[in-house]
Structure 1
Amino acid sequence: MVINKLEIWYRDFLSTRGIMELIFKIALLPIYVLIILYNTLRRELYSAGVIGRKIVLKKAVISVGNINLGGAGKTPLIIYIARRLVIMGKKPSIVIGGEALADEALIYKAQLPDIKVFTEKNKKTAIERANDSSCDIIIIDDGFQLLNVKKTLDIVIIRDDVSPTPIPLGWGREHISALKYANCIFISKPSHNYALKSIHGISKPIFIMRQVPEVIVNAGTGKIVNISEIVGRKVLLFSMVPSIGYISYELSHRGIRPFLVQFPDHYRYRDVDIKLVLKTGRSADYIITTEKDMLSIKNSLKKSHKEIWTLKSKIDIKNESEFWKMLMKKLNV
């Protein structure tokens, strides 16, 4: 909870424009420069083989990572890629490591029940387990900063609704120049053109990815309602995902303007939280949340909430066929 509160404060701080905030940001400039120098030097030394030794695995390795803090769309992209690989007769597995593995593992296991998901606090341990399994492709969730593993395809997904300026002056994990080490770039949440402007001059294949709302499903009854049927209705949208603003943006393009209630990322819902949401949305025709939130709610609470609907979206990729041609070439298929 302390980390979540700090995250909210930091997001608010980055959006302020007061004199004191400006002075503070200027004071942080040396740290900003040091972080960029450290990340750049680390990548260059790894690339030159001066430090570290790249582990060559028995399986093909697809990494999906980002350079932004917060949600960029890795999970839906990984689900999309894994499903397509299964249709093609492949046996992918997914590797997750770090603090967020519980939330992500729930989503993968719910949406990809036939795909093995390897979860460990230490990502290297999870990769070793996947390498010894019967899968033929390892998909690493959040693997761009993992420099000691040889990858067949290194995908970086960046948010277009957040400035990519690195911390502590922005919400980026690395400088935008790090994208030159990727094989291809996905731009998610296309709404502000921050990303397109920032990556001008970086010669990598670029794919625009949208998550298009399709239907809502009632949590209690399973009833399905097409998004077009709730246009003009009162809608409350609550979520812990950082991209709630983008979800609202996509809904608004469909003629739906929801009232937003945002919880901290990786939040653990309690009964009191859901009661508050239901009270806030008592005049709404629909109370909607994401699939990630719904899994967390079902995992945390005993009661089935028939008043809540789950939003389901589809992945739409511009030049989708070009991406799969590139991937198949990398996999020697």
Structure 2
Amino acid sequence: MKTPRFWFTPPQRPDWRARVLAPLGWIYAAGTARRVALNNGYRARVPVICIGNINAGGTGKTPTTIALAQRLLARGLDVQVVSRGHKGTVEGPVRVEERTHSAVDVGDEPLLMAAFTTVWVARDRAAGVKAAETAGADVILMDDGFQNPTVQKALSIVVVDAVKGFGNARCIPAGPLREPVRAGLRRADLLLSIGPDGAQKRFLQEWNEAIPCPHVTGQLVPLQTGMDWTGMKVLAFAGIGLPEKFFATVKSLGADLLRAEALADHQPLTDALMKRLQIEATALGAQLVTTEKDAVRLPDTFKRQVLTVPVRLELSDWSLIDEELQRVGLG
């Protein structure tokens, strides 16, 4: 097999495990390339905007989808989201109902996004897009699916965590990527990196050579709810892609973070797990704190005992995204 050529030098030197697994990564990348090259998916009658990534795992797609939905809703558009409903049992397409569905049914991210706009869960993304069209959507936001060829996209936004970047630039299992950086970003209309200013500067220094598309920066900022976190003793837990980001946010609010429990992404919050955390928090004299995404997975008996720290995406400049929205008829 011919070794793929890198058009830049990745900032993280691959360790011995990545080098051993490299041939499997090339096979994975080749499979992705064949899949996306099909480009014969369903073409919707309304613009479909994909918020995806080339990294496996969390990069900030959900807060990006929420922020974009709010911006489009403010323009009077009927915005509907189509999600696969990761780890949910529903195959769909089904419209998410906050009052009747649980995270077990539809997944935690669709349930969270349903508080802002209409959300459809569908394992078959094309079927989900068709359901949203039938329901009168003016624009459809596709949560993830950048590598999925079953739906044609009017606009694709790739989201990346500015702190993690693209890792060692290798594909699964040799690295964190679903496809090579250059190949993925050539198909993207925009790259959005999310992180604090220092991380954004390092990200640009490390990856600028690999970015062929317009680049937008943003940060996740705690939503002001009137809660005074200063000096509050807390036990924080998070089952998201990058739990350490949440713990840093909690500390930035002035809370006294006595313990941080990093859970697996989308990990079920069972009664046994929550009882253990509650006992530990009581022993420490601490308040249980978690993310919005985790909060929708809490058992009913614990919802009043756990505080959440909601965050919202703030962009340094919306102009590049607004230009793309105008290009696809949403100006």
User: Which TM-score band applies after superposition, normalised by the shorter structure?
Assistant: 0.7 to 0.9
Name which of 317, 320, 325 aligns with 1:319: 317
The 5-angstrom pairing of residues 265-280 of structure 1 reads 265-280=265-280
The 5-angstrom pairing of residues 241-320 of structure 1 reads 241-256=240-255, 258=257, 259-282=259-282, 283-297=284-298, 301-320=299-318
- Aligned partner of 1:131 in structure 2 is 133
**What is the aligned length?**
292
CA RMSD of aligned residues (A): 2.5
Cα distance 1:108–1:206, how it changes in 2: closer, same or farther (>3 A)?
same
Q: Determine if the alignment matches structure 1 residue 208 to structure 2 residue 217.
A: yes
Find the aligned partners of 2:33 and 2:195 in 1 and give their Cα distance.
Answer: 27
Larger RCO of the pair (alpha carbons < 8 Å, separation 6+): 2
Cα distance 1:256–1:208, how it changes in 2: closer, same or farther (>3 A)?
farther
Cα distance 1:203–1:305, how it changes in 2: closer, same or farther (>3 A)?
closer
Deviation at 1:289, TM superposition (A): 0.5
Which 10-residue stretch deviates more, 234-243 or 244-253? Answer: 244-253
Q: Which amino acid aligns with 1:279?
A: I
Which 10-residue stretch deviates more, 302-311 or 265-274? Answer: 302-311
Q: Which 4+ runs in 1 deviate beyond 6 A? A: none
Find the aligned partners of 2:315 and 2:239 in 1 and give their Cα distance.
Answer: 25
Cα distance 1:268–1:328, how it changes in 2: closer, same or farther (>3 A)?
same
Find the aligned partners of 1:86 and 1:314 in 2 and give their Cα distance.
Answer: 16
Find the aligned partners of 1:155 and 1:257 in 2 and give their Cα distance.
Answer: 36
Cα distance 1:307–1:98, how it changes in 2: closer, same or farther (>3 A)?
closer
Q: Is the 8 A contact 2:155 2:324 kept in 1?
A: no
Q: Is the 8 A contact 1:65 1:144 kept in 2?
A: yes
Cα offsets for 1:147-203 (capped at 9, x unmatched) = 343322111101223252321122221211111110001112346456432243423
- Aligned partner of 1:181 in structure 2 is 187
Q: Is the 8 A contact 2:85 2:107 kept in 1?
A: no
Q: Is the 8 A contact 1:98 1:123 kept in 2?
A: no
Cα offsets for 1:50-98 (capped at 9, x unmatched) = x452432111111100111111111111111112211111011111126
Which 10-residue stretch deviates more, 137-146 or 301-310? Answer: 301-310
- Aligned partner of 1:8 in structure 2 is none
Give unmatched runs, 5+ long, in structure 2: 1-12, 88-105
Q: Which amino acid aligns with 2:180?
A: H
Cα offsets for 1:220-249 (capped at 9, x unmatched) = xxxx543xx323332221111122111222
Q: Is the 8 A contact 1:106 1:295 kept in 2?
A: yes
Q: Determine if the alignment matches structure 1 residue 27 to structure 2 residue 23.
A: no
Q: Which amino acid aligns with 2:212?
A: S
Cα offsets for 1:275-303 (capped at 9, x unmatched) = 11112222244321011111110xxx231
Q: Which amino acid aligns with 1:313?
A: V
Partner SS state of residue 281, structure 1? helix
Q: Is the 8 A contact 1:176 1:198 kept in 2?
A: no
Aligned-pair identity in percent equals: 24
Find the aligned partners of 1:332 and 1:213 in 2 and give their Cα distance.
Answer: 29
Q: Which amino acid aligns with 1:261?
A: E
- Aligned partner of 2:148 in structure 1 is 146
Normalising by structure 1, report the TM-score. Answer: 0.79
Q: Which amino acid aligns with 1:95?
A: V
Q: Which amino acid aligns with 2:211?
A: I
Find the aligned partners of 1:52 and 1:235 in 2 and give their Cα distance.
Answer: 49
Q: Which amino acid aligns with 2:260?
A: L
Partner SS state of residue 301, structure 2? coil
Q: Is the 8 A contact 1:268 1:296 kept in 2?
A: yes
Q: Is the 8 A contact 2:181 2:210 kept in 1?
A: no
The 5-angstrom pairing of residues 157-176 of structure 1 reads 157-164=159-166, 165=169, 166-176=171-181
Find the aligned partners of 1:257 and 1:330 in 2 and give their Cα distance.
Answer: 47
Q: Is the 8 A contact 2:160 2:191 kept in 1?
A: yes
Find the aligned partners of 2:280 and 2:263 in 1 and give their Cα distance.
Answer: 14
Which 10-residue stretch deviates more, 94-103 or 125-134? Answer: 94-103
Find the aligned partners of 2:60 and 2:34 in 1 and give their Cα distance.
Answer: 28
Q: Determine if the alignment matches structure 1 residue 239 to structure 2 residue 244.
A: no
